[in-house]
Amino acid sequence: MNRQFQLDVFGEALLLLSAAHRLGRLDSDGRRAAEVAADAIARRRHEPDAGIGELENRPWTHSRLICAAGLRSLAETAPARVAASWAALADRIVAATSATALHPAGRWQRSPGDPHVDAALLPPLRGALSAEDPRTRATLLAFERELTTGHYAYRFRHDERPLEEAEGAFLLCGFIMALAEHQQHRHEEALRWFERNRAACGTTGLFAEEFDIRQRQLRGNVPQAFVHALFLESATRLAAPPP
C-alpha cells in the first residue's frame, strides 16, 4: 500500500484546507500545503492511479474530478493570481476528463476504458461541476437505476451477480445519495435515503462499512469513521433551512 499512488488524495486535501480557511483555521503551513497539493495535481494528473477504491492503476474519473473540486474550492479563497491559475487548471482537468471518460449516454463512467457507473462519480457534491450540469444529473440517474435497491446503495458492480451477493450495501454511499438528492432539491427523497441508512446501525448506534440487506447484519469494518462523517454531514445539511 505504501507504493500506491492515489491522485484523489490531493483533491481531498485541498477540500479539507478550504474548509479550514472558511473557519479561519488555515495558517501559513496550511497555505503551503495547498500549494504543494495543487502543484502535485498539475504535474501528475495524467498518471494512472489506484483511485479511491485502491484498485489497479487506471486514469480513474473520480480522481480527476475530485482534484478539480479541490482546486475550485480553494481558488475561491486564494489571492487573485493563484486563484485564476487553480481555476484554469480545474477547467482543463474537467475538459480532458469529459473528452475521455464521458459515456455516450451523457454520464460519467469509471475510467476511459470502463463504461460502468460508480458511487464515486458524484463529484458535484464537492464542487467539480454544478448540480444543474447535465452530466451531473445523468450520472445520478444512472447510479440510482443501476446501483441501488430499496434506498441502499452499492459502490460498483463487481460481476454479474446480484449486487447484494457481491458485497454489502455501502452505508457511505447511502448518505452520499441523501446529499445528492438534497442538492437536487428533492428534500423528501433525501430524507428517505438518510433515514433508511441511519437505521442500519448496530445496537450501540455505531455504523459498519457495509450492511447486508438480506440478513440485516453489519458487514466489514466497524466502527467505520468515514460512514459516521457522512452521517453527520447529511444530518447537518438536511436539517438546515433551504437556501
User: Each residue of 53-88: pLDDT tens digit?
Assistant: 888 999 999 999 999 999 999 998 888 888 999 999
- Percent of the chain with pLDDT strictly greater than 70: 98
- pLDDT at residue 123, rounded to an integer: 60
What sign does the dihedral 8-10-13-15 (CA atoms) show? negative
- pLDDT at residue 79, rounded to an integer: 83
Distance CA 239, CA 243 (A): 12
Q: Which pTM was predicted?
A: 0.92
Q: 162: Cβ–Cβ under 8 A, 6 or more apart, which residues?
A: none
Residue 164 has pLDDT above 60, yes or no: yes
| Partners of 58 in beta bridges | 49
User: Each residue of 185-229: pLDDT tens digit?
Assistant: 999 999 999 999 999 999 999 999 999 999 999 999 899 999 999
Residue 3 has pLDDT above 80, yes or no: no
182, 238 Cβ separation under 8 angstroms: yes
Which of the pair, 123 or 108, is modelled with greater confidence? Answer: 108
